[in-house]
Structure 1
Amino acid sequence: MDIRQLRAFVAIAETGTFTAGADRVHVTQAAISMQIKQLEREAGVRLFLRTPRRVLLTEAGERLLERARRILREHDAALAEMKELAGAESGRLRIGTASAMIASDPLPQLLQELRARHPRAEVTVESGTSAELVRQILAGELDIAFVSLPVEARGIETELLSRDELVAIAHPEHPLAARRVVDAETLAQERLILGERGGNTRRLIDQFFTQAGVRPHVTMELSRTAAIKRMVEEGMGVGIVPSQSVREEVAEGRLVAWWIKGAERINWELGLARLRDGYDSPICKTFIRLCRRHFKGEDQPRAKTASRRTRA
């Protein structure tokens, strides 16, 4: 029993003849007769009684008619909804962000532009660590997320949006405040305030100290860059964060920033993560284009790129 057979059955029942029913569904009389024969064979009962002037429904046909109409209504409604989604006026997009900086700027502007193009779309935003957001994408709970790179998960593809250097930050009254550059040995002697373990940025920092052959003195591990900056402002220690995240504080004299000698290879990288070979809905495609335009100045999307490393 398929949709074409049900549509043919309803057409005949409502018009009263095979000829009129065939005209309604735009097939030949022979074709519609074959569809009804197949439907009756599958149902195991006769659906019509043939008379010289018209056809009549059997008891089984009468029972099937209302169900067939309901099935066709649901079928047509589902197609209309899918066409509406394809038309990009509505839809759903579940976004994750591992960066508080992105959540405050530029995400609000991106969402405003997205709303203008998809006025009836349902958009949600969740925060978490990069690892947590990747797990949610793999579980089908998120469609796309801003994460720090690289992502080491099978089934996830990422796209680099921006790159930023990591800098050390301290209180303006720190004894070394006048310096411009510090090395790993100097930082290892400070009371360090770093991001929590498990994040990409923290992993890169740990690798930097390991390669330098020193063991850092970590006194705090915090989940948010904003919390790290606040602790450093209170003189609780020295932090390591992306340089763009402290532009305002450094400009206002609330913090000082040092370039880290030998840390050129531990740049902080922001990317978009989503399922590899997954379905990008119209609203998701629009969001990706908006992100590319904001971060890269692009108007046209580039080909998708897979994560640089994958792990089972």
Structure 2
Amino acid sequence: MEFRQLRTLLAIADTRNFTRAAERVHLTQAAVSAQIKALETETGVPLFARVNKKVFLTEAGELLVRRAERLLKAHDEALLALKELGDAEKGRLRVGTASTMASNDQLPLILAELKRAYPKAHLVVRRATSTEIVAQILQNDLDIGLVSLPVEASDIRAEVLQRDRLVTIMQPDHALAHQRNISPTQLAAEPLILGEQGGNTRRLIDLFFEKSGVRPEVIMELGSMTSIKRMVEHGLGLSIVPRSSVREETKAGKLTALPVRGLKDYWELGLVSLKSAHVPPLQMAFKKLCEKYFD
């Protein structure tokens, strides 16, 4: 019993016609008849009955069709899994990262470990805002992304990797640096350096100022967290960023981070991709590494 014979059997069962079945499996009608005869000889029972030029499955035929469907499904799934394993070895993964995570320590570590596991894989990393990354995933220009949550698109699967407080950062010798926290009014009186419009972190900040009834003085909008931190280090203004993004700078005494009074919203880092029943192995490996490093 061969897989090609079982495929022919299913084609006849579906079309109830030897000629149409032959067209479907790209064989001559004589070849189709020969395959069915070989199956009937091997099984020792008739699989089809012919009545007035019509083809009907016998009870044995119906039983074999049910088993053949399961066998062929398992066979096709095994071939797909093996193909994907090979594709993962030399495949491509396109990753988007939002500006607030571009300088995160975890991403380089994740990509390095992924590359060790799949040395022939081609990894593409693009930086954009959270909104742009989601749009590119929906357009099939990216496979997966690290973004600020929430994400509203119904076709996107989102998983929270990390939650963090937003804090104000400034030079250690700034006049406000020795306070326990900083108020919206005090922030509004200072020049602010914020991330680009379109990112969820910026949306949280803008919404906070709107609810507080103050209008901040935003003097710069930058797409790079590294650039924002360097500008603040040089005394060009204050910023509001996730606490984890300035852990090294505060430890080294380059920046001071203060809680913002009344800002209770958490910043959330999420992993986003298209909702799909099937996730390719390379993408799944990246996902598991993200869960490991952001745990």
Structure 1 and Structure 2 fold alike (TM over 0.5): yes
Task: Find the aligned partners of 2:241 and 2:252 in 1 and give their Cα distance.
Answer: 17
Task: Find the aligned partners of 1:165 and 1:215 in 2 and give their Cα distance.
Answer: 22
Q: Any idea what SS the aligned residue of 2:218 has?
A: strand
Does the CA contact (< 8 Å) of 1:180 and 1:257 recur in 2?
Answer: no
Per-residue CA distance 1:85-140 (angstroms, 9 max, x = gap): 14654433211111464565212221232233334333221111111111110001
- In the other structure, the counterpart of 2:274 is 275
Task: Find the aligned partners of 2:268 and 2:137 in 1 and give their Cα distance.
Answer: 19
- One-letter amino acid of the structure 2 residue matched with residue 244 of structure 1: S
Q: Any idea what SS the aligned residue of 2:239 has?
A: strand
Task: Find the aligned partners of 2:104 and 2:294 in 1 and give their Cα distance.
Answer: 15
Task: Find the aligned partners of 2:135 and 2:27 in 1 and give their Cα distance.
Answer: 44
Task: Find the aligned partners of 1:27 and 1:270 in 2 and give their Cα distance.
Answer: 60
- Output aligned runs, 1:284-299, within 5 Å: 284-296=283-295
Unaligned runs of 5+ in 1: 13-17, 32-78, 297-312
Does the CA contact (< 8 Å) of 2:91 and 2:120 recur in 1?
Answer: yes
Q: Any idea what SS the aligned residue of 2:121 has?
A: strand
Per-residue CA distance 1:3-58 (angstroms, 9 max, x = gap): 4628x96xx9xxxxx98xx6xx9944999xxxxxxxxxxxxxxxxxxxxxxxxxxx
Does the CA contact (< 8 Å) of 1:96 and 1:127 recur in 2?
Answer: yes
Task: Find the aligned partners of 2:192 and 2:137 in 1 and give their Cα distance.
Answer: 32
- Bigger shift: 138-147 or 103-112? 103-112
Assess, with a 3 A threshold, how the Cα gap between structure 1 residues 26 and 157 changes in structure 2: closer, same or farther. farther
Unaligned runs of 5+ in 2: 1-22, 43-77
TM-score for both structures, normalised by structure 1: 0.68
Task: Find the aligned partners of 1:26 and 1:228 in 2 and give their Cα distance.
Answer: 76
Per-residue CA distance 1:167-226 (angstroms, 9 max, x = gap): 111122211221221111111111111112111111111111111121112111111211
- In the other structure, the counterpart of 1:133 is 133
- In the other structure, the counterpart of 1:83 is 82
- In the other structure, the counterpart of 1:5 is 27
Assess, with a 3 A threshold, how the Cα gap between structure 1 residues 274 and 193 changes in structure 2: closer, same or farther. same
Task: Find the aligned partners of 1:179 and 1:237 in 2 and give their Cα distance.
Answer: 17
- In the other structure, the counterpart of 2:232 is 232
Q: Any idea what SS the aligned residue of 2:247 has?
A: helix
Q: How many residues align?
A: 236
Task: Find the aligned partners of 1:278 and 1:197 in 2 and give their Cα distance.
Answer: 33
TM-score for both structures, normalised by structure 2: 0.71
Assess, with a 3 A threshold, how the Cα gap between structure 1 residues 205 and 115 changes in structure 2: closer, same or farther. same
Q: Any idea what SS the aligned residue of 2:173 has?
A: coil
- In the other structure, the counterpart of 1:93 is 93
Assess, with a 3 A threshold, how the Cα gap between structure 1 residues 291 and 26 changes in structure 2: closer, same or farther. farther
Task: Find the aligned partners of 1:262 and 1:26 in 2 and give their Cα distance.
Answer: 80
Root-mean-square deviation over aligned CA pairs: 2.9
